[in-house]
Structure 1
Amino acid sequence: MKKVLITGATGHLGAATIDFLLAKNKKDNIIALARNEEKAALLKSKGVEVRLGDYDDYNSLIQATKGVETMLLISSSEMSKSRAIHHINAINAANENGVKHIIYTGFIRTHDDPTSPLWFIAKDHVETEKYLKESGINYTLFENGFYLDMLLDFVGNNVLETKTIFVPAGNGKINFVLRNEIAEALANVLTTSGHENKIYNIGVEQTVSFDEIAGYISNKTGVQINYVSPEPDVYIQTLIKYGAPEMYARMFSAFAVAFAENTMNVPTTDLTKLLGRKPTSVEQFINSFFNKK
């Protein structure tokens, strides 16, 4: 394994990927890109080389990518402007410094639809992936399922009291995946060969609907949970009524409507192969969560 630059290194996915690499004794091969020195202090304490840089500061990206063989480009969390511009800056800097391979984290989907309510998020991924493929650099695309870690944000932590899952996802099925297992798979790809110019759908083998999720919770807890799929506008107004900021209410609704349209209904064995085992299923996650309650 040669020098690897990991962007978004202080975020959840980047930090978890670095921890998996450290467990493989790859400390000397890791370079972490961080915007904030204070946030990167934990990485430094683990012996990881940290380079400060910002997607908006091209010169800092040029400095950060020097001597790098592979870059893990974790998609920017910036929502106030085009994230694609951030990603393209990183790709251009990598290209200028002769980086040989870029792994990019996108999202799992059946198709690209500019009329989808989710397009405001999807558009930047689509633009980035097209640019990366045309850059001449070897690429690997990680098309990640929806974070299983966020399932309870839709279900509600007090679902046993409300006895209702209230999400406008219809009968759509979704591929939910644990963020930590994505990180483990990224570390495996970074430390093995043969992944150039491949696209991996990163998720579980069996997609699920919210009606099935209600059934899993009912079976585990003995509390009958009902699933209600309201109109999106009703959902948005209900979330706002209970204190959610309007931006978040609309974003959750956009995802739910995309779920209803089966946009993320992509069963896959790619992650199973990359991990060497079956990833955590939604039912296993729910059983584990309610064991702790």
Structure 2
Amino acid sequence: MILITGATGQLGTAVIDQLLQKIPASQITAFVRDETKAAPLLKQGVTLRVGTYDDPDALDSAMQGIVTVLLIAGTDEENRVRQHQNVVDAARKAGVQRIAYTSRALKNPATLVNRLMAGHFQTEEYIKASGIPYTLFQNILYLDAIPQFVGGDAVFERGINVPADQGRVAFALRSEMGEAIANALVNNDESNRTYRLTGCESCSFYDVAAALTDLSVKSVTYTPAEPATFEAQLIGRGLPEVVARRITGFITDIANGQEDIISPDLEKLLGRKPTGLKDGLRVLYKLKQA
């Protein structure tokens, strides 16, 4: 039995979609906050357990009979580490045989601008100290995040203005990360393993602009912006300040080289090369080759 937390989120959905192609639905349990939102999973035969990371009793109940837990990182900036610890504690108490966690691929936790990321490494250490055999998935930034970062379709009118300087990222699609994670979960892999899930090549936002130019009938340019100016623009587009600050932190970390990492792990788990930048952008923007 595999328990997926955060099962109705985007990554959780991608993982479960892939698991359903590999193992019977009766072997999959979804830990969700909203049973109504999870109704499609129930229709597919997935078992539901309802609760939150803040509810130790619900976590204890959800862990019964579970062999492997995939802890998908929470988004509560103030409480996420404690919440993750609650999940690990419940897994240990129930005798779970393996815990997996979706972390982040970053070069130097000590110099991060986006401090939200520090919680990932604190969680990793807690998992390692728990004594439960573990699998850590250190994920690179989703290629899917590019439209949000650059302003969606407006990029074709005003170009790209983000504070990434010449920083590079080995972007990968969320759906392929979900597929790779599912493959690892169903394999009888050795315990205490860390995977770095990245694309096969690192790209700058100059490369993003060039790819969008090739895929469209318009010239897309990239002009590096100042972090404060960029954050103000995001707020001006209607994003909450906390989200704008988080995105600015992500991109400033890119400028500082935090995500310039290439690993073969995603390709190995997929059994093929991950989707590259141009093909990924074609899908995300629904573009055809110009």
Alignment TM-score, normalising by the size of structure 2? 0.94
Report the equivalent of 1:161. Answer: 157
2:76 corresponds to which of 75, 78, 83: 78
User: What amino acid does structure 2 have at the position aligned with 1:209?
Assistant: S
Question: After superposition, what is the alpha-carbon deviation per residue over 1:197-244, rounded to whole angstroms, capped at 9, x for unaligned?
Answer: 111111101010001111111222242222111111121223333433
Report the equivalent of 2:98. Answer: 101
Report the equivalent of 1:4. Answer: 2
2:232 corresponds to which of 211, 231, 237: 237
| 1:267 shift after superposition | 0.9
Indicate if the aligned counterparts of 1:221 and 1:290 stay in contact, CA closer than 8 A.
no
SS in 1 for 2:119: helix
Task: Decide whether aligned partners of structure 1 residues 214 and 249 sit closer, same or farther in structure 2, where only a CA change above 3 A counts.
Answer: same
Report the equivalent of 2:124. Answer: 129
> Structure 1 residue 117 and structure 2 residue 113: aligned?
yes
Question: After superposition, what is the alpha-carbon deviation per residue over 1:15-41, rounded to whole angstroms, capped at 9, x for unaligned?
Answer: 221111111242121111111221121
2:263 corresponds to which of 243, 268, 289: 268
After TM superposition, what 4+ stretches of structure 1 lie above 6 angstroms from structure 2?
none
Report the equivalent of 1:50. Answer: 48
Report the equivalent of 1:15. Answer: 13
Equivalent-residue separation in structure 2 for 1:94 and 1:57 (angstroms): 13
Indicate if the aligned counterparts of 1:82 and 1:124 stay in contact, CA closer than 8 A.
no
| 1:175 shift after superposition | 2.2
Identity rate, percent: 39
SS in 2 for 1:102: strand
Indicate if the aligned counterparts of 1:189 and 1:195 stay in contact, CA closer than 8 A.
no
Question: After superposition, what is the alpha-carbon deviation per residue over 1:129-178, rounded to whole angstroms, capped at 9, x for unaligned?
Answer: 0000111001111001111111111222211122x100000000012111
Question: After superposition, what is the alpha-carbon deviation per residue over 1:58-93, rounded to whole angstroms, capped at 9, x for unaligned?
Answer: 0111111011111011111223x2201111000000
Indicate if the aligned counterparts of 1:5 and 1:65 stay in contact, CA closer than 8 A.
yes
1:148 corresponds to which of 143, 147, 155: 143
Equivalent-residue separation in structure 2 for 1:108 and 1:39 (angstroms): 30
Task: Decide whether aligned partners of structure 1 residues 53 and 246 sit closer, same or farther in structure 2, where only a CA change above 3 A counts.
Answer: closer
2:280 corresponds to which of 256, 270, 285: 285
| 1:247 shift after superposition | 2.1
Indicate if the aligned counterparts of 2:199 and 2:266 stay in contact, CA closer than 8 A.
yes
Task: Decide whether aligned partners of structure 1 residues 32 and 290 sit closer, same or farther in structure 2, where only a CA change above 3 A counts.
Answer: closer
1:211 corresponds to which of 206, 215, 237: 206
SS in 2 for 1:117: coil
Higher deviation after alignment, 201-210 or 24-33: 24-33
| 1:4 shift after superposition | 0.8
Indicate if the aligned counterparts of 2:216 and 2:288 stay in contact, CA closer than 8 A.
no
Alignment TM-score, normalising by the size of structure 1? 0.94
Higher deviation after alignment, 46-55 or 164-173: 46-55
Indicate if the aligned counterparts of 2:215 and 2:288 stay in contact, CA closer than 8 A.
no
Unmatched segments (≥5 aa) in structure 1:
none
